Chain A
Amino acid sequence: AGLELLSDQGYRVDGRRAGELRKIQARMGVFAQADGSAYIEQGNTKALAVVYGPHEIRGSRARALPDRALVNCQYSSATFSTGERKRRPHGDRKSCEMGLQLRQTFEAAILTQLHPRSQIDIYVQVLQADGGTYAACVNAATLAVLDAGIPMRDFVCACSAGFVDGTALADLSHVEEAAGGPQLALALLPASGQIALLEMDARLHEDHLEQVLEAAARASRDVHTVLDRVVRQHVQEASVLLGD
């Protein structure tokens, strides 16, 4: 057999328990130029997100929506982000798909009807990919959207989950992803408990789905707790300087 992903004692390859997250560190407002920006590290996965808007529709005006804002997401991963050097940072099929997923996620979270005929750009770049890139991108982009002050229905928090030997694992690392088991990505609106995006590429028995979904949802709430603290601290710092 290959690598043992879950030991008899219940520890994973990197020493975590099944439902444990990797360490999350995040910062908001990392760029002066953009309307909103954020940087996040989830274990060794690192992502930067930048938000511009709501601004005028760029390119053809025909894309403008009469009743809501257009959310434009671009995902790219740096050429040095993966073990094997990538040729192109964006524009390949995987990046396009990821951009589309991010767009779906944020159209569910942002109150787009407040800014008709305008555009909101979300650019995400992965600097180091160590599993859970979708989750890191969503979390970084949420912080950036908050930093930009764009009205949102709710925070979005994302986390991945896998399934090994009858146990659901939360927040997969690259090693666990590469082992080829089923893998589920979930973006959750934690306050209302609604799902913004749910994706799974592999086959998993129906009976196990609920368990994995439950693990991903719990991990997303844990992510929310961490990000909540980051945002509160950021707002506190910013307003203290303005003399409150």
Chain B
Amino acid sequence: MRVALQVTCVNDAMFPDTGKAVVRLLRRLGVDVDFPAAQTCCGQPMVNTGYLDEAVPVVRTFVRAFEGYDAIVTPSGSCAGSARHQHSIVAERSGDPALVAAVAETAPRTFELSEFLVDVLGVTDVGAYFPHRVTYHPTCHSLRMLGVGDRPQQLLEQVRGIRLVDLPMATECCGFGGTFALKNADTSVAMGTDKARHVLDTGAEVLVAGDNSCLMHIGGMLSRQRAGVRVMHLAEILASTEDDA
């Protein structure tokens, strides 16, 4: 099976450790993961702000970069959702039947990390060790756009040493929402404030999620409040072993 990592633009530029964690994790599970260098972004920032024409060349770049791979793995529910549910809209808009066809090829082969591990590889115990008190925030797009369900929790439950605590009002949006965080900053911050309070209520040391963009928002608020709670991507916890401790 030829497996490609779609690291996502946010992780590429801002959170390279998440990408490295995915590579380490997948290699440990025997998957020879490739990083197609032509990749850039899934196009979601343009699509969700209404710039469909601008998204066309970005989606074109995406399908070219990942052409021929059996599986495209991404450590982001949001980017997987974009590839699976929005690329077809952009392709239709382009009026280019070749792009429509190419998108129909890549969309169903794009998996969010927890989906790939549980559904494609069939593992929940990835041999991780992480001796900390952790709470999990299910990000909206992974939960409602992709329907990853409890796959992330299944994976976390098998991590040795971990103490998982429930996050109150877990399924409520953190308020990030892409350009929503800037266009409606006050509302976004009001939502984030409540999410940060719920995180603090758990007494967790670490907040984990499958999307670094949401974590950047919640983590940014926690940091401003000097709350001392660290945010981590799911991949980084799953990649951790006794050697890291």
Question: Is A bound to B?
Answer: no
Q: Using a CB–CB distance below 8 Å, which chain B residues touch chain A?
A: none
